[in-house]
Amino acid sequence: MAVHRQTFTIETKGQVQAIDITDKVSDAVRKSGLKDGIACVFTPGSTAAIVANEFEPGLMRTDLPAMLERIAPAEAGYAHNERWSDDNGHSHVRSAAMGQSYTFPFGGGKPLLGTWQQLILLELDIRPRTRDVVVQLVGE
């Protein structure tokens, strides 16, 4: 088994922004030279998430933000905000609920995703960020 890792950077705008990273991840799989294995896409941040879903405007711009507001309302009281005064407690809770990584198989040098699945970086913080995205592959 071989291991390959590639990192890329994404500039975000904040406030529940969805960014399709499928092409960048697919490129990392292709460039690795590995044909079959498991991939993990991870963002080292506590106010972002990685998901696989359909990158469709109604879902990404309306439905997903509405769901996140129901789960962790921005205006609710958060002990994190009281301690740090940065007003992004809801961003941390949302990230914990969604997860900072997504693992999937790859075969033939390509991600094995469903027809309507894309890999998406979700910026959940209240301000713009520079996000690293790590793609780690194990395979042969």
Q: Which CATH number does the domain housing residue 126 bear?
A: 2.60.120.460
**Which tokens hold the place of 30?**
């292709």
Range of the domain at 102: 2-139
**Which tokens hold the place of 69?**
């507001």
The reported pLDDT for the residue numbered 113 is 98
pLDDT in tens, 47-88: 999 999 999 999 999 999 999 999 999 999 999 999 999 999
- Going by C-alpha positions, the residue among 3, 1, 2, 28 that lies closest to residue 132 is 28
What b/e sequence results for 75-112 when a residue is b if at least 16 CB atoms lie within 10 Å of its CB, and e otherwise?
Answer: eeebebeeeeeeebbbbbbbbeebebebebebeeeebe
Tally of domains in the chain: 1
Residues 52 and 78: their CA atoms lie apart, in Å, by 28
Check: pTM over 0.85? Answer yes or no: yes
The reported pLDDT for the residue numbered 1 is 92
